[in-house]
Structures are given as structure tokens and as C-alpha cells.
Structure 1
Amino acid sequence: MFNRDPLSQGSAKDLTTAARIRDAAIELFGEQGFQVGVRAIAAAAGVSPGLVNHHFGSKDGLRAACDERVLELTRDKEASAITEPSIAKGMLATLAEIEEFGPLVAYMVRSLQAGGPLAESLFEHMVTDAVVYIQAGVDAGAIKPSRDPVARARYLMMLNLGATLLYVQMHQRGGEKLDFRKLVRDLTDELTPPALEFYTQGLITDPTILDTLNKEK
């Protein structure tokens, strides 16, 4: 799994059994949703169904491990891009290989579409991670400080994930399987230029609006 993903550590044969199962589950959950069965995941990982339960206890336990891995990969990549000596260089490097995030984006989309406590937990962890790596960018002098770092991180996560969910919904055609690697590239190419203009140049010319709003609270 993730055969094109440079974020994966080592080749498939180098991974532990638990890691192979987890990576297979991330890919299958992303492709088919969380209705996919344990037997299908075991077959994709090349193990017996009993080993899935042995390592993770239940399907929810496996999903929690998948969440943790997706968060780890996303957090590490975002942090390395933001804290590069040149944030432009870090972002361009990430954009150059954006297709390789396809399986991770697919997993996050399926999780958020499914809703419920596990989706809410994944989102809240993403916000918590964003607070940390955005602050690292602030400390590195690449990002402006915020009056409310947590609120800013939550807004950015809702903005980015909401845009991704909408884009997926608009490009879904019945039961046709989406190519998330291509979708992530197309979405990035379309939204990156206006997003960078928005983030680097701002939008509203009157800076007193925020001060007025804060005084009225």
C-alpha cells in the first residue's frame, strides 16, 4: 500500500504485520468507505482475518490506528513545509508531490463523510496538530501571530476540509470510483493561486473591522 508514497517508511516487506494491516485499511477505507470488511483488509495485507483482530481488537480499534497514522503523516509533512528556512521552498516541495497524499485525503474524506464521534475526534486532533505546526511557523518567522491561535487553526481546518469535501461531492459520478491522486492534484492546481493571494495579501482593506468586532463581544 502507498507504493508511491515517500512518507511510508520502508518497503511493504519491511513493515511489521500490524503496519501492513493498518496501511491496507487506510487505502481500502479511503477507496470503499468504512463498510469494507475485515476479510477484505486482511486479504489486501496478505494476512489472516484473525491477525487483524489480534493486533487491533476490533474494527474500531483498527480505525483508531488508521486515524493516528494519517494524523502523524499529515502533521509531519505540514510541519516540515512550514518550518523550512524558506517557507516558499517547503510549500513548493509539498505541492510537487501532492498526488502522493491521495490515499490520506481519501481516508479523511470518508471519515468526515461518515460523521459521528470518530469523525469528530479525527477533526479535533487535526485542529490540535494544526495549532502546534502553525505555531512552529510563527516561531520560525514564516507566519504572522494570531490573537486566537486555536480559533485560527479551527477555521483553517474547516475551510480546507470543507473545500475538499465539496470538491469531492461535485466530482462524484454515481458509483464511479474517484482517482484521489488526480483529484488532489486538480484541487491543488485550482485553489492554490487564489489561496496564496488570500493568505499573503489579505482581503479586507479596513483593519478596524476586527477591532470593532472584538470590542462588541
Structure 2
Amino acid sequence: MFSKQPVPQGPAADLTTTARIRDTAIEVFGEYGFQVGVRKIAAAAGVSPGLVNHHFGSKDGLRAACDERVLQLIRNEKIKAITASSVSSGMLNALAEIEVYAPMVAYMVRSLQAGGPMAESLVDHMAADAEGYLEQGVAAGVIKPSRDPAARARYLTMLNVGATLLFMQIRQNPGEPIDFRTAIRELTEELTPPALEFYTQGLLTDPTILDTFTKEK
């Protein structure tokens, strides 16, 4: 069940036992949620439950490693798209291969649905990463500077993550698993055109509202 789509790997992919358990856990958590036990993850990875605990200490330790891996992959892909020689071609290449991100999206959705400190930490780290790669885009001349880079990054993170979570939630049929590969393609095709219009053309014709609001604060 867990070979439908591997978690994306970098050019120097780590194929150690630790990495295999972690990547398998991302897929298992994404498919079943965080109520799943270590035994199920171990079986999917072809190892013993004791070996999982040996490498990660506990289920929470494994989840923390999964968070770190998902954040790393998101960060790498965002930076690659934003700093490509042609930002449009970088984004189009990412969109063409969007299904490969299904395990990461599934994991992120399950984490946010679970809530709690680890979900909050994941969002905080995503926002901090977003600030970093947006600033790289500013330095590359493909993104406009911001009056408050941290606030902009957090807003965009909340906007994109919230839209993804809502999209998946309203397409969830009771008692049936979500086909994240299909869902992420449908989400991308539905929201990318208006999102690109919003990001490239803006929304308001009168910019003075921002100046007024900022001064009043």
C-alpha cells in the first residue's frame, strides 16, 4: 500500500535504515493519521518495532524526524522554483510534477488535523522557512520586498496551508480514504490560476488603504 508514490528524494538521497523508516512513516502517517502505532510503521518499513524505537526513541521522536524531513523537502522545492533562471519555468516544472508531493501534503494535513503543540510547531517552522525563501526571491529580483517579511511569510503560509486543509476536508467522503495524488492535482488546477493573478497583479486599485492602516497602528 505504501509504494504508490515515494517521498521525493534529493540527489544525495539517504537510503539508510533510519531514512527508510522515516520516509515510510511519512506515508503511513499521511494515510492513516497519527493514531497509527509503531508496529504498523515498522511492518511497512520491513523492520521490527524495536528498531524503530532504537533509531527514534519514541513515536514522538519519529514524528519530529518526519516533520524535519517534510520541511526540508518543501524548503528545497520552493527555493528551487523561486531561484530558477526563469521563475515561470521553475514553477511550471513543479506544477507538472505536483503528484510527487502527495505524501508530504497528506502528512501535513494529518498533522494539522491532529492539532496540538507539534502541529503548531510545524506551522511555525513552515512560516520561518517561507520567510527565508521569499527573501531569496527578493534578492533574486523575482519577488517584491515587504514592509514586514515575517508577517507576509506567515500570512502566505496560513493562507496556503488553510486552503489545502479546507480543500481536502470538503472532499473527504465519510469512511473513505482520501486519494491525495488526485486531490492535490485538482487543488492545483483549481486554485493556481486565481492565485497567480492575485500574486502578479494584486487586488486593490487604491494603495493608500495600506498606508492609512499602517499609520493608524
Deviations along 1:81-101, one digit per CA (max 9) or x if unpaired, are 000111101000100000110
Q: Does 1:176 align with 2:176?
A: yes
- Normalising by structure 2, report the TM-score: 0.96
Aligned counterpart, 1:187 = 187
Distance (whole Å) between structure 1 residues aligned to residue 4 and residue 77 of structure 2:
17
Q: What is the number of equivalent residue pairs in this alignment?
A: 216
Q: What does 1:38-187 align with in structure 2 at a 5 Å threshold?
A: 38-187=38-187
- Percent identity between the two aligned chains: 70
1:156-211 deviations in whole A, cap 9, x for unaligned? 00000000111011100001011101100000000000000000000000000000
> What is the deviation of 1:4?
4.0
Matches of 1:102 and 1:63, distance apart in 2? 18
1:35 matches 2:74 = no
Secondary structure in structure 2 of the residue aligned to 1:150: helix
The residue that corresponds to 1:19 in the other structure is 19
Measure the CA separation in 2 of the matches of 1:9 and 1:156. 25
Q: CA RMSD in A?
A: 1.7
Cα deviation, 1:4-33, whole Å, max 9, x if unaligned, reads 458324899x71111111011100000000
Question: Contact 1:2/1:103 (CA < 8 Å) preserved in 2?
Answer: no
Which range moves more in the overlay, 65-74 or 1-10? Answer: 1-10
Contact 1:134 1:143 in 2 (8 A): yes
CA–CA distance in structure 2, aligned partners of residues 178 and 11 of structure 1: 31
Runs of 4+ in 1 over 3 A off after TM superposition: 1-6, 9-12
Q: Tell whether the 8 Å contact from 2:30 to 2:103 is kept in structure 1 after alignment.
A: yes
Give the Cα–Cα distance (whole angstroms) in 1 for the partners of residues 140 and 179 of structure 2. Answer: 36
| Kept in 2: contact 1:2–1:23 (CA 8 A) | no
* Cα separation, partners in 2 of 1:10 and 1:53, compared to 1, 3 Å: farther
Give the letter for the 1:125 counterpart. H
| Cα distance in 2, alignment partners of residues 145 and 11 from structure 1 | 33
* Secondary structure, aligned partner of 1:34: coil
- Please list every run of 5 or more consecutive structure 2 residues that lacks an aligned counterpart in the other structure: none
Any conservation in 2 of the 1:2–1:8 contact (CA below 8 Å)? Answer: no
Q: Give the conservation status (yes or no) of the 8 Å contact 2:7–2:101.
A: no
- Give the Cα–Cα distance (whole angstroms) in 2 for the partners of residues 64 and 203 of structure 1: 38
